[in-house]
Amino acid sequence: MRPFETLDRSPTADGTVLSLHHRDGDYFIHLDGEELMSTRRTGSESALATLACQRLQDLRRPRVLIGGLGFGYTLRAALEAVPPGAEIVVAEIYSSVVRWNREFLEPLHRQTLEDERVVIQNANVWDLLDGRQSFDVILLDVDNGPSAWCLGSNGRLYDRKGLERIQASLTPRGVLAVWSAYADEDFVKRLKKSGFSTRVERVRDHHRKGAQHTIFIASRAAEWS
């Protein structure tokens, strides 16, 4: 196996270092030397959007918010699921991640970032969940899930107050979907206590192979128990 080729490094506001690497045709993002994400296995990131956006074809102009661009696989799956009149807002806190997608990964995305339905914002998704905008679907692939964070500030998205902000930013029949590396019964309980109807899906990270990841799907409407 070839060694990693470091393509770029970028310091973050909190003093950590984000870096992009390439090896054997795959790309990797590390945070202070620890792998944060890669293009090796992306099935669960795609499933996050596919599962949550299933019913949006019935809407004329649905709005989707994606928390975290990553390597763009959730965004690509969302684009495949939504109608032509949709708008997809992607909140990515690290500007370097957006730049790396454009400079190094364009062959993977086939103009995904240039789709007229896509709006990229260099912002923390928390700041967009202020109730001033409404979304039909909110997709969160932020850190490793509701209880496993590289950045401690991400935990606020998944506590009671964070779920209240999300509810205020969803349409009456809106759907929240959360990607997680792990199962999390406590998070399911918080969702239900916050008034969400909730179901849990376990999906493979590479087609039918690889590790199982968890996707929490929560609706403001009473659809699931």
The tens digit of pLDDT for each residue in 94-122 reads 999 999 999 998 766 667 898 999 999 99
Tell me what percent of the chain is helix, strand and coil, each rounded to the nearest 5: 30, 35, 35
- According to DSSP, the β-strands at 209-219 and 197-206 are antiparallel
Confirm whether 2 is domain-assigned: no
Confirm whether 53 is domain-assigned: yes
Domain, as residue range, for 210? 41-219
Cα→Cα distances 157→9, 24, 62, 162, 178, Å = 27, 35, 23, 4, 10
Confirm whether 32 is domain-assigned: no
pTM exceeding the 0.85 threshold for the entire prediction: yes
Tokens representing 171? 């349409």
On the question of pLDDT at 164 being above 80, the answer is yes
- The CATH code of the domain that includes 58 is 3.40.50.150
Confirm whether 186 is domain-assigned: yes
Tokens representing 165? 């902000």
**Three-state DSSP state, 52:** helix
Q: What is the count of structural domains for the chain?
A: 1
Confirm whether 14 is domain-assigned: no
Confirm whether 12 is domain-assigned: no
Question: What is the DSSP code (8-state) at residue 33?
Answer: T
Our measurement of the distance from residue 224's CA atom to the centroid of its chain's CA atoms, rounded to an integer in Å, reads 22
Confirm whether 8 is domain-assigned: no
The tens digit of pLDDT for each residue in 55-79 reads 898 899 999 999 999 999 999 999 9
Confirm whether 6 is domain-assigned: no
Q: Which residue type sits at 162?
A: G
**Three-state DSSP state, 27:** strand
Give residue for tokens 């997680």.
180
